[in-house]
Structure 1
Amino acid sequence: MGEFKTSFNSILSRDLKHIYSGFPQVLKYRHSAPYPTQEQLKLKEENNHLKTYVLKSSEFVPEYSCLIPRAPAFRILSRHEVDGVVTRLTTPTIASRGISLTSDKTMREEKEKSHSKYLGLQKIDEREQTMLTERMTRPTQSSRMREYQTRRQLTQIG
């Protein structure tokens, strides 16, 4: 009985079914594509929606064999949609009405004549003026970078 001592791995590798046929072949199974993610599904839906929208709003021109978008003025609308467009185009805008039913330009001109902000009549004390001047003359990050690059270019030239 001593001659029959073998390990479990050698029993598996020398299995009876493999003795006459050789080692097992690697089988390649057909597999399906991986499941799409939510983002891929959303993108596919948007692309499909975009295709249908392009087909609805475009006209095929056989001369160029391509789709050309219809001009908005010539799109096909129902009676209710036309009424909505007409009312939207005929109502005056807020800018054209203004506060006192004047145009935006005349309102601005009137304010420039009388408002102290436009005339430069607003008085500030000396401390506030000094703070404003310091803030306005403080270098910005862009000006520091420009100064650094200018100095670097001057050292490379000279």
Structure 2
Amino acid sequence: MHGLHCAALCATLLCPAPLLAATVFRCEDPSGHITFTLQGCSEQQTLKLQAANNPTPGSGKPVPLAKAGKTPRNKARTNRPEPVVVAEKRDGCGDRVTGSARRTAIIKEEILGGMTRADVESALGTPDKVSSQNGQTRYHYRDQQGNSRQISFDEAGCVKGKR
């Protein structure tokens, strides 16, 4: 029994205490790229020691948030550049169904011409049967009452309908 207590004491002493602060190497290469590491820097990098402090929450004085400087109202409006749209998402079906109309139709489980296959599956779920003929695909649905419904897609995967 005494040996077990001694082994437990040794194991406790050998376990390191959790580190709340450590010193790490701050390595900067000639191009200005900075790396923080515990292993040291290569010969081409300049070495500086960096203190890293990670206090536990609630263990110290709270740090106040930065305060934004006030800008005059009229100056803020005149200096704003116009927003530039870099890219827009296209649905591949000519964007015939707008975002709000698409969402409303999906919620109401309605299908509109120009919807994509993903839109139809969002509205009605996975089809019971899929058939293809001459590059055109049809989704077949059947509900619990036995009613059937077919949705036809063109070659681009868009619901056929009025243009």
**What is the TM-score of this pair, normalised by structure 1?**
0.21
State the structure with bigger RCO (CA 8 A, min sep 6), 1 or 2: 2
Greater fraction of residues in helix: 1
Q: TM-score w.r.t. structure 2 length?
A: 0.20
